[in-house]
Amino acid sequence: MNLGRRDFLQLMGIAGAASFFSPGAAQSAWGADADPYEIPDYGNVTLLHMTDSHAQLLPVWWREPDTNIGVGPALNQTPHLCGKWMLDYYGVATPASNEYAYSCLDYDTLAHKYGKIGGYAHIASLVKRYRAQRGDKVLMLDGGDSWQGSATSLWTKGADMVGAQNLLGVDDFVGHWEFTYGQDQ
């Protein structure tokens, strides 16, 4: 298969969005035969990337904001676009799955259809799947904001999330709010 840069980036976006949904919800939404996690093997390495879990180990109900006000010259400019304006600006196709993942549109109806998003169990399923398929050609990366954001991470100063990331098999990460725990932690 000849896969160009644009196609590769699109597949990476699809793979990232796929991690938002549980497998059962994805099957009911996309059809019993569809497998949104079936991504073709391409190149020398498979990059898996997660970010901003904010210490939420379990799936949560999430809705993108419906208002993000830009001030002055930022008014109605990226990144201050929400809902249909944001989808239109970035050319995101609007099947219901994309509307639910990326916008606030029809949230109540789509939340009942697709369910909660996120959770380390869903991420672990994807990591295990791709590592089983591709062996040591998988690199699991975390963009930060993973060790803070829950009561247990506050009480343990992020140690619970370090354990979760070790179990998940994160190969490398960059910190963000993790630095609030101090250099020694």
The predicted pLDDT at position 81 comes to 87
The per-residue pLDDT for range 57-101, each reduced to its tens digit, is 999 888 888 888 888 998 888 888 888 888 888 888 766 777 788
Which residues constitute the domain of residue 169?
Answer: 1-61+115-185
Which pTM value belongs to this model? Answer: 0.67
The encoded tokens of residue 37 equal 């996690």
Give the distance between the most distant pair of CA atoms in the chain.
Answer: 51
Domain shared by 106 and 147, yes or no: no
Lowest mean pLDDT among 4-8, 28-32, 68-72, 169-173: 28-32
- Alpha carbons 127 and 49: distance in angstroms, whole number: 10
The per-residue pLDDT for range 104-127, each reduced to its tens digit, is 888 899 899 989 988 899 899 999
As for how many domains the chain has, the answer is: 2
Tell me, what CATH number does 156's domain have?
3.60.21.10
Domain shared by 140 and 53, yes or no: yes
Domain shared by 96 and 126, yes or no: no
Domain shared by 57 and 136, yes or no: yes
Domain shared by 84 and 140, yes or no: no
Q: Which residues of 111-139 are buried (b: 16+ CB within 10 A; e: fewer)?
A: eeebbbbbbbebbeebbeebbeeeeeebe
Cβ–Cβ under 8 Å, residues 26 and 34: yes
